[in-house]
Each structure stands twice: as structure tokens, then as C-alpha cells.
Amino acid sequence: MAFTVERIDHLVLNVADLEASAAWYGRVLGMRREIADGRTILWFGEHKLHLLPVDASQEAWFTGHHPAPGSDDLCFVADAAVEDITAHLATCEAEIELGPVQRAGARGTMTSVYCRDPDGSLIEISTYRAS
């Protein structure tokens, strides 16, 4: 029987410094932190990120072959005006590396700004709101 996947349940983000990353995602992106089964989980909406410290025991994590902090490229959608997103990033001292720019998102044209998390992973924050 064939099937198709319908959505992503969670992502695992490889990090060098668990505390720095959890704090950054909470402060800059408003994610809520939870500890479950000894793992750090960041919640946003109905979605979650697991933070995997690269020095974690491989017995405790079944993960990719080459876990490396700073190698990710993630896009998050915010229900906010791009001006509010850029102002918030400035307040958090998260340097915008590119944007605002128009991009083709999964639901149509969106406006994006790009910054980096503490490990250097590229973080795209997008909005579908018209300017």
C-alpha cells in the first residue's frame, strides 16, 4: 500500500552549546522550552525542535551520520508585519544578514529576513502578510 507524508512532526537541531541555543531560540523566536526524557525541546505553535548537543552520547540519540552545529538552514513563518519582525530582531541584537526580500514559500509569496543562530545556522523568518 502506498502512502504520502502529510507534515513534519519535529526536527532535530545539532548545537554546540545547548543552553546558549535554547536561550537564543526562546528570546529571538519566542519558543517555549521543555525538558522531556532528558531532552531539550523547543515548542512553537504545534511544532517542536529537539536540541541535540554534539557531545551527547550516541547511544542516547539515534541521529544522522554527521551531526554538525551550524549546518542547518531553517525557515520559520511569523504572523507579523515584516517591520515588526525586523524591529524585534534589532531589539534582540540578532543581525539581519539579508532582507527583507520576497521569496516563494510553501503557501505563496512571502517576505523574509535572514539571521543566524549561535552556531551559525541560517534562520529565515518569513511572513505572508502584505507590507
- Residues annotated as catalytic are 124
Of 69, 79, 74, 78, nearest in space to 8 by CA: 74
CB 119 within 8 A of CB 69: yes
CB 95 within 8 A of CB 113: no
Q: What span, in angstroms and rounded, lies between the C-alpha atoms of 96 and 17?
A: 22
Entry field: residues in the chain: 131
E-state strands within 1-131: 10-15, 32-36, 39-44, 47-53, 73-77, 98-105, 108-116, 122-127
Of 65, 29, 69, 73, nearest in space to 51 by CA: 69
